[in-house]
Amino acid sequence: MAVLVFPLLIFLCCGSNAQLPTSFLFNEFNESGLILLQGASIMSNALRLTDQSTNAVGRALWEKSLHLKTNNSVSSFSTTFVFSMVPPTNNHGHGLTFLVSPSRSPVRASDSGYLGLINPSSDGREDNHLFAVEFDTHLNHWNNDIDGNHIGVDLNTINSTVSKTAGYHTGERFEELKMASGQNIQAWIDYDGHKHNLSVAIALAGMSRPLNPLIAMPNIDLADIFKEEMYVGFSAAQGRDAVEDHYILAWSFNSDGMAPTLDLSHLPSFIRSKGVSVRIIVGVSVGLFSLVVLGSLVVWYWLKRGKQREAVEEWEEEFWPHKIPYQELKIATHGFGEESLFGRGGFGKVYRGVLPSTGLEVAIKCLTRDLYQGMKDFVAEISSLGRLQHRNLVRLQGWCQNKNQLFLVYDYMPNGSLDRFIFGNPENVLGWSQRYSILKGVAAGLLYLHQEWEWVVVHRDLKSQNILLDSQFNAKLGDFGLARLHDPTQKSQTSGVAGTLGYMAPEIMRTGKATEGTDVFSFGIVLLEVACGRRPLDESAETEKQVLVEWVRQLYAEERLMDAVDIKLEGEYNGEEMERVLNLGVVCSHPQPECRPDMKLVLQMLEGQSPIPVVDKLINNRDVIELSRTKYSVNSAGCGPPSAR
């Protein structure tokens, strides 16, 4: 793996030294691309700002100064990084900062409470031109710190303009996050140069970015702080009586737009196991006899409890890498409490939690009753699906079996499912550009399942409810390959065969068999849903509009297809893309499977790389509906050739 994935730095000189935006990414570190000052160094592919020597200052900067200010206006910028602060004892150090400074190294930067930024004589001076976000792990009363675990925004002074206890919001709750714990913590800092807004957020590395920032500062104009040329990077300092190691494990920055996404899959861990003190050794020696006496009691206790512990069968060891202990899931969900429950469906309950071993935010599906047959075969399939890796699939983290329950653990998707944003009267109506991007993402995910992985995986239950959205509204397919686990006792729109009414291809009702073609049919219905803003079945609608696909087919026949466009878009959409989606929806939902394109061709059509066929006739309820379109020669199945348009 490359130490530096890229630094991408582009400068373009024309006229008055105008420069293009700067973007760089470190998924791991060597000394390339960095300026290391004072105590900063590289250790285990991580940037080490300070070690545990006292009175130490460390600073690391991107090697080139950045042009962040033009005509008294500061450009937008965005950065994200993962840090770890590791104290040797409970008496931890002072913390670290992300800084923007006009100089590489300020003169006589102090340690202790000044975080390696400035010194007492220069603190608060306007000619510092210093901007910093401090991650402070020490309570200094003379700096007006709010506590010993806070994040603050510093403008020319170590006294923060705004300061908040470190943590993140999960709905209505606030979870405090101890920064000097050795855990890997991700931070996000964004400045909008147009609106003059600053936001700062943190979470455990691997969790999604919190929807609400920890610090939100409106109307903060950095024009008086910034010079035209500034350096970006980090600083940290030790105190005389408080020391800790400060690490940056990954870092990205963009001076125009969102910072590049970090790869968190190979982050090092610097959490130390605690050493054994002399007092503990003495205590163990003195108590050795007592432990021997009590040993038999302990053995007896565990033998008695053996039947109550989670049984591990021999066949489970074959799939052990994907198994997660039940106790960890119980801790993650606060004992599967109601406060962690955020969804119910045909598969059972869905809980939200944070795995204590990794800090990863996950969604945990709990399958109960006898929803699965042949546990060994099922777990083999689940473990195989766990190897699926695609940007448009919800990643399956693992599974857990406990008595008559089966738990499936997925990445948590903070924006929920697509149906929340397109049906009824949603609080937030998705714009057309987002909808179109989501459809292309779903198509790419299906193509991977059908043709690009080592095996063919049929989704079986594609619908807007199973299209999940991450924090950036990227589409992720969930529940792929699992529709056969549906509980037939649930009274929902799900049928006895795999699938959901309104999304199922007509041949499934005859054969009961799901194929790539039935997935394409379901995707056709999703295309129509997204374009029309209507559910596939709606008994409350006018009679001719109750079945979405039949209504759209009729409009297609009458050459009034654009009449189906979602009125919630209020005319704000790309007409060419909208017409493409509606036409492709009709083609993909063709009642005859041999007339449907495969997903590779579907994606090409969706991206405008291939023409969309003209449907000459459709078979519906055994009646042939002749479409009043320009006639093309058709094959025996009644499928028209691609349109010349």
Report which listed range, 260-269, 309-318, 543-552, is most confident.
543-552
Residues paired with 411 in a beta bridge: 362
| Cβ–Cβ under 8 Å, residues 503 and 463 | yes
Q: What is the DSSP secondary-structure string of 576-629? A: HHHHHHHHHHHHHT-SSGGGSPPHHHHHHHHTTSSPPBPP-EEEETTEEEE--S
Angle between helices 548-557 and 516-532 (to 10 degrees): 80
Residue 557, Cβ neighbours under 10 Å: how many?
18
Nearest-angstrom CA–CA distance, 514 and 500: 12
How confident is the model over 373-387, as a mean pLDDT? 61
Q: If DSSP codes are grouped into helix, strand and coil, which group holds residue 509?
A: helix
Helix (H) or strand (E) holding 230: strand 229-237
Q: What's the confidence (pLDDT) of residue 623?
A: 36
Of 366, 406, 376, 384, the closest CA to residue 313 belongs to 376
CA end-to-end span of the chain, whole Å? 47
Any residues with CB less than 8 A from the CB of 316 and at least 6 apart, and which? Answer: 323, 379, 401
Would you say residue 427 has pLDDT above 80?
Answer: no
Any residues with CB less than 8 A from the CB of 490 and at least 6 apart, and which? Answer: 346
Task: Kindly list the strands in the beta sheet with 361-367, ordered across the sheet, starting from the edge strand earlier in the chain.
Answer: 341-345, 348-354, 361-367, 405-411, 396-402
Residue 261, Cβ neighbours under 10 Å: how many?
12
Report which listed range, 224-228, 292-296, 315-319, 341-345, is most confident.
224-228
Q: What's the confidence (pLDDT) of residue 383?
A: 63
Tokens of 304: 């008695």
Nearest-angstrom CA–CA distance, 381 and 376: 9
pTM of the predicted structure, to 2 decimals: 0.52
Report which listed range, 125-129, 401-405, 583-587, is most confident.
583-587
Report which listed range, 231-235, 290-294, 456-460, 621-625, is most confident.
231-235
Q: What's the confidence (pLDDT) of residue 282?
A: 40
Q: What's the confidence (pLDDT) of residue 629?
A: 33
Strand (E) positions, 355-482?
A: 361-367, 396-402, 405-411, 467-469, 475-477
Nearest-angstrom CA–CA distance, 290 and 288: 5
Q: What's the confidence (pLDDT) of residue 24?
A: 93
Q: If DSSP codes are grouped into helix, strand and coil, which group holds residue 10?
A: coil
Nearest-angstrom CA–CA distance, 230 and 235: 15
Identify the residue with better confidence: 636 or 409.
Answer: 409
How confident is the model over 289-314, as a mean pLDDT? 48
pLDDT tens-place string over residues 182-224: 889 999 999 999 899 999 999 998 888 888 899 999 989 999 8
| Cβ–Cβ under 8 Å, residues 214 and 167 | yes
Helix (H) or strand (E) holding 436: helix 432-447
Tokens of 158: 């170590």
pLDDT tens-place string over residues 30-80: 878 899 887 788 987 899 988 665 557 888 999 999 988 888 899 999 999
CA angle, 335 then 338 then 342, to 5°: 110
Nearest-angstrom CA–CA distance, 146 and 281: 39
As a whole number, the mean pLDDT across the chain is 78
Identify the residue with better confidence: 348 or 635.
Answer: 348
List C-alpha distances in Å: 166 to 5, 14, 151, 176. Answer: 30, 44, 6, 6
Q: What is the DSSP secondary-structure string of 88-121? A: SSSS---EEEEEEESSSS-TT---GGGTTT--TT
How confident is the model over 256-266, as a mean pLDDT? 85
Q: Is the dihedral of CA 31, 33, 37, 39 positive or negative?
A: negative
Residue that the structure tokens 């770890």 belong to: 84
Q: What's the confidence (pLDDT) of residue 278?
A: 38
Active-site entry in 461, 519, 566, 616: 461
Of 612, 566, 610, the closest CA to residue 589 belongs to 612
Query: Has 461 been annotated as catalytic?
Result: yes
Nearest-angstrom CA–CA distance, 577 and 579: 6
Would you say residue 226 has pLDDT above 50?
Answer: yes
Q: Residue 180 — pLDDT band, cuts 50, 70, 90?
A: confident
Nearest-angstrom CA–CA distance, 65 and 231: 5
- Length of the chain, please? 645
Span of 143-147, 280-284, 431-435, 513-517 with lowest mean pLDDT: 280-284
Q: What's the confidence (pLDDT) of residue 114?
A: 62
Enter the DSSP assignment of 451: I
Span of 270-279, 436-445, 520-529 with lowest mean pLDDT: 270-279
Residue 555, Cβ neighbours under 10 Å: how many?
17
Q: What's the confidence (pLDDT) of residue 10?
A: 34
How confident is the model over 258-269, as a mean pLDDT? 84
Q: What's the confidence (pLDDT) of residue 443?
A: 96
Tokens of 322: 């994907």
Based on DSSP, count helices (H) and strands (E) in the chain, helices before strands.
Answer: 10, 30
Would you say residue 240 has pLDDT above 90?
Answer: no
Residue 151, Cβ neighbours under 10 Å: how many?
27
Q: Residue 250 — pLDDT band, cuts 50, 70, 90?
A: very high
pLDDT tens-place string over residues 539-569: 888 888 899 999 999 999 999 999 999 999 9
| Cβ–Cβ under 8 Å, residues 232 and 100 | yes
